[in-house]
Amino acid sequence: MKAKKFDQTFDEGADVTSALDLKKAKRIQQAPKRVNVDFPVWMVESLDREASKLGVTRQSVIKVWLAERLASSTTGPRR
């Protein structure tokens, strides 16, 4: 399907997934990159309490909170 036809079909609200090769699809800027951060003990303990209360891992709490903060920042990721 040509791009113009694809755009028109999409704009009309039709399902265009059959025209996509989803096996080659990539989420841009979503590849994980490991970083090391040192936190004071009190902060780790607070994170662990919050994670336990939510039933998730410490890492999940950190990721969600950082993502929320970055999204609300003017210099955060563009969506």
pLDDT at 22: 87
Asked if residue 53 lies in contact with residue 63, where contact means CB atoms within 8 angstroms, the answer is no
- Our CA dihedral for 56, 62, 64, 69, rounded to 10 degrees, sits at 160
Task: Identify which has the larger pLDDT, 10 or 73.
Answer: 10
pLDDT at 78 over 70: no
pLDDT at 75: 66
Give 39-50 pLDDT, tens digit per residue.
999 999 999 999
Task: Identify which has the larger pLDDT, 74 or 51.
Answer: 51
pLDDT at 63: 95
Asked if residue 63 lies in contact with residue 54, where contact means CB atoms within 8 angstroms, the answer is no
Confidence bin at 76 (pLDDT 50/70/90): low
